[in-house]
Amino acid sequence: MHINWGALLIVAFVSFGSAVGVVALIAFALLGLSARAGSTTAGHTGIAEDGSRIGLSPTAGTLVAALCLLAAAVIVGYGLWIIIG
Amino acid sequence: MDLSLLVIVVIVTALAFDFTNGFHDTANAMATSIATGALRPKVAVTIAGVLNLVGAFLSVEVAKTISSGLVDDTQVTPAVIFGGLVGAILWNMLTWLFGLPSSSSHALFGGLIGATWVAAGADAVKFGAVVTKILLPAVISPILAGLIALAATYLAYRITARGDQATVSQGFKYGQIVSASMVALAHGTNDAQKTMGIITLTLITAGALPSGSGPPFWVIMSAGLAIALGTYLGGWRIIQTLGKRVSEIQTPQGFAAEASSAAVILASSHGGFALSTTQVATGSIFGAGAGRRLASVQWGVAGQMALAWLLTLPAAAIVGALAAWASSSGTFGTVVVAIVAIALIAGIYAASRRQPVTADNVNDVPAPTPTPQPAAA
């Protein structure tokens, strides 16, 4: 009975890194888009419920969102490539 | 019994298993998307069905063995395969009736192990492989998926805490559509291949295909259609359990759960580890529930699922063994097994109609009562 613990650890790390990475990227993208939404939504001040500011201008927020979405898309695309390959 | 007739019976039974595999596992990809409203129920199962069909065509790495080396392949006969399939189908139907997301793969493996044991003795079962290929992944994969989903959910809430909540919720809804689609695609690739492998090996053992052959196009198409049709019909009872009875799932949790499931399934497949997509998806949903608020998770439901997981292999093995034993006596035995199996399936279906769960009422479950507890975010 042989168990390849090394490969198992790699699978665990890759799974953890990719899943948490994609979720974090999407979350940052939505935070960026929130800054953009704040500039267009009447009454929105860019101030969170706890009183802190999102801290991004609409342009910077959009740029952050685009970059994060692009990075997430690359990771998802690689996953698709694994399925097809 | 004429061998060709037995082969036809096995092929039909394999496609029937594929069908049950589809509706049993629809929840893996779509339960949280339906629960959060990211997708309407009928739309969700349509997407899942189509992607399962597409997934069935994405890989040609099929028919290596019907049991992934769990049993001595030289001892496998159409009667053994038939018995194993009957065991797997009946267990899938029973767990569906109770809304329990048990593993279709484990049911299949259990059925085959039991059938092989009866037909060829205990020596024909490779117990070392059972431990490394079934039991170990069964313990590790849901825990791993759960921990990943927990961390991802925690981060999702932490990062977006200062964001515009309407934007965040809408964004994660769109994300869920993509992540759920990924899980559905991966499911079609993995699970449809198992049925293709079974049918191909049956054809090889019957002499209809040369040894080492890949699946003919009609096998790929029929297996893909069977799992897609099953997925489209939707195992609403299991969707309800995973989507509404585990925890009150919000869009960030749904996205985190599906992303975690997809990552674990794909990474494991790439690493050569066979695992149950059901157990991974279930572990992810529990992890996502715990990531938002620990007390909102219904751990009693987890206990029921764990019990079903523990019983899946031996229960399917016992039924598979009985079916293989009866079938091995010839035509009469095979016919009796088929009639009894059809009668039991009809009985289970009739029982399910007493409290039907459909696309219209799948989300009609009171929210689990959370105990006030400090939230993760």
In this predicted model, what pLDDT tens digit does every residue of A10-27 receive, in sequence order? 989 999 999 999 999 999
> How close does chain A come to B199, measured CA to CA in Å?
22
Do the Cβ atoms of A18 and B167 come within 8 Å? no
Residue A1, SS3 per DSSP? coil
> DSSP assignment, residue A49?
T
Angstrom distance (rounded) from CA A74 to CA A21: 11
Angle B331-352/B299-327 helices, nearest 10 degrees? 160
How far is B254 from chain A, CA to nearest CA, in Å?
Answer: 11
Rg over alpha carbons for chain B, rounded to the nearest Å, is 20
- CB atoms B58 and A83 under 8 Å: yes
In this predicted model, which residue has the larger pLDDT, B183 or A52?
A: B183
Q: CA-nearest residue of chain A to B260?
A: A19
ipTM computed for the complex: 0.84
**What is the structure's pLDDT at A70?**
96
pLDDT by residue for chain B (377 residues), tens only, comes to: 455 788 899 999 999 999 999 989 998 889 989 998 889 999 999 999 999 999 888 765 534 545 456 788 777 888 888 999 999 999 999 999 999 999 898 898 899 899 999 988 888 888 887 887 778 888 888 999 999 999 999 999 999 988 888 999 999 999 999 999 988 988 887 788 888 888 887 888 788 888 777 788 999 899 999 999 999 997 899 999 988 888 888 899 999 999 999 999 888 877 767 678 889 999 999 999 888 865 577 888 888 888 988 999 999 999 999 999 998 888 888 889 999 999 999 999 999 999 999 888 888 876 655 555 444 44
Residues on chain A touching B147 (C-beta within 8 angstroms): 16
- Contact criterion met (CB below 8 Å) for A49 and B168: no
DSSP state, residue A25: H
Across the A:B interface, residue pairs with CB atoms under 8 Å apart total 134
What is the signed CA dihedral for B358, B360, B362, B364, rounded to 10 degrees? -140
Please name every residue paired with B71 in a beta bridge, in sequence order, or none if there are none.
B125
B79 within 8 A of B120, measured Cβ to Cβ:
no
Chain A positions touching B168 (Cβ under 8 A) are 27, 30-31, 34
What is the largest distance, in Å, between two alpha-carbon atoms of chain B? 70
User: How is chain A split into domains, by residue range?
Assistant: 21-84
Average pLDDT over every residue of A34-41:
68
pTM above 0.80, yes or no: yes
- Asked if A76 reaches chain B (Cβ–Cβ under 8 Å), the answer is yes
Chain A residues closer than 8 Å to B189 by CB: 83
pLDDT at B109: 87
Q: Which residues of A touch B269 (CB under 8 A)?
A: 82-83
Element (H, E) at A4: none
C-alpha distances in angstroms, B152 versus A15, B283, B285, B289? 11, 13, 12, 11
- What DSSP character marks residue A46? S
Nearest CB partner across the interface for B160, out of A16, A27, A37: A27
Q: Which of residues 39-58 of A touch B (CB under 8 A)?
A: 41, 44, 48, 50, 52-54
Cα nearest neighbour of B284 on chain A: A19
Fill in the DSSP letter of residue A53. Answer: B
